[in-house]
Amino acid sequence: MASGWRGYLEEESEYQWIAMTGFLIFILLGAVAIQGTSNLPGVEFGSSDASHAETRVLDIEYTSDTAFTAKVVTDTGIDLYMQTSSGSVTRIIDSASSTDASEMQFMTTLDNDNVVVASGENTLMVIHNPKNVANGEVLISTIQLDNSTGDFEIADLAERTSGSSTSWLMVTNEGSSMGLRGFGSISEGATSPDTIASSMATSILSTATDNTAGVVWEHVASLSDGLWGASGYLTYATTVGSSPATPTIVPVVAVIEWEPSINAPTIKTMYTGDGGTIHSLVQLSDSTVFAAGTQGSTYIHEDGEMTHFEDGSVAAVADNEDRVWLFGDVGSKTTVRYDQGQAEPLSLARGLTFETEAIGFGTHQIFLHGTDEQGTIQTLTIDTSAPGSIESGRGFLNFMFLGVFTIVMVVMAWTAGERLLSAKFR
């Protein structure tokens, strides 16, 4: 037998070792390629090259991958500015020459790509997108709401468009409690700065919700005609006699009913969680809302029914296909993507190195902005249109690798068997 093996080896051509080396290289490259597809494609870590590069971003609303309205920290305070798709920048609030934007609690991008913010008690400021202005400039309209039912500050705003009319639901600070107020209907003329005043001439501001439940409302979003989603939290003492300085905080997700009228919004249903907070209400195009929380999430259906999930996060955003992306804290190596209620964990090439302070989605890209432990400004970008998804890339490589490996091994076994048989009967 030994002499047979010796003969087999001696009779092989000088190219056998080249073939064996090539096969080994194929195995190694296949393993590296398969491992590479286990990470989410289209991910980039590092600083951004946008106009806010090297600037701390506190809040941002994207209308495309290159156009946005941002609230940023500068040497003189907190500024608010808009960058258009062409790259031009317009300062809306400049801390170097006027009051800074530190008191501004929210930004909402409207269906017409205008952005609305609160600029004072009973006051909203609409930043008109240049495409909605005749001369292509960035213009601002100030809306003074009726204060006959009291003064209030606005903490969040959601929009509902039905046909040619629009209505808004707002979270308001009524002084002694947080409430909800509606405003509408608004005609389609609100798109242009020339006709926004007339479009709101017959709009009605509702009275505030009677907050007998004691909820501290924080966020609102639109569900369907007459139905809205809202989130906040409740605080209460854990036991009788416990310190009020350390109350128990539980998250609240609610469905709100309100049609444009002077009547206050009312709570239709309300869910109270076990712990954590709701940090985002993600409004989806199919008239549903995803409430993302630190210790769990809730999907609010169009009819107001709720489905609860255990996945927690610190930041959330929806892409153009209504997939909700959940991101964890510093060190997290995965993101969870919800598509039609189904969760899919996706691996990042490396863990998050910074705490997310602002998140947004443009045309195809997700942007996470934050600052790492060294104080360096960081941005994580995910191109959701990147070719080669995890399923198609990894599956194809696995199939190709196993197929080629099987063919080569069968051929080698067949050849070796023939050699052994020929050597045995030689």
Residue 26 and residue 161 in one domain: no
Q: What pLDDT score was predicted for residue 2?
A: 45
Which residue segment(s) compose the domain that 367 sits in? Answer: 47-79+319-386
Residues 319, 366 contacting (CB under 8 angstroms): yes
Helices 390-424 & 16-36, crossing angle to 10 degrees?
Answer: 160
CA-CA-CA-CA torsion for 304, 307, 309, 313, nearest 10 degrees? -10
Residue 344 and residue 363 in one domain: yes
- How do beta strands 165-173 and 153-162 pair? antiparallel
Residue 407 and residue 326 in one domain: no
Q: What pLDDT score was predicted for residue 244?
A: 61
Residues whose CB falls within 8 Å of the CB of residue 301, separated by 6 or more in sequence, listed in order: 288, 307
**Which residue in 183, 235, 182, 181 sits closest to 213, CA to CA?**
235
Q: What pLDDT score was predicted for residue 111?
A: 92
Residues 187, 171 contacting (CB under 8 angstroms): no
What span, in angstroms and rounded, lies between the C-alpha atoms of 228 and 8? Answer: 79
Question: Residue 304 in 3-state DSSP?
Answer: coil
Residue 51 belongs to some domain of the structure: yes
Residue 235 and residue 256 in one domain: yes
Residue 275 and residue 128 in one domain: yes
Q: Which residues of the chain have pLDDT under 50?
A: 1-2, 4-11, 15, 389-392
Residue 278 and residue 161 in one domain: yes
Q: How many domains does the chain have?
A: 3
Residue 300 and residue 355 in one domain: no
Q: What pLDDT score was predicted for residue 390?
A: 46
Residue 51 and residue 188 in one domain: no
Residue 330 and residue 260 in one domain: no
First to last CA, the chain: 11
Q: What pLDDT score was predicted for residue 32?
A: 54
Residue 137 and residue 248 in one domain: yes
Per-residue pLDDT tens digits for 48-107: 667 788 889 999 999 999 999 999 999 999 999 999 877 788 999 998 887 888 889 999
Residue 336 belongs to some domain of the structure: yes
Residue 89 belongs to some domain of the structure: no
Residue 176 belongs to some domain of the structure: yes
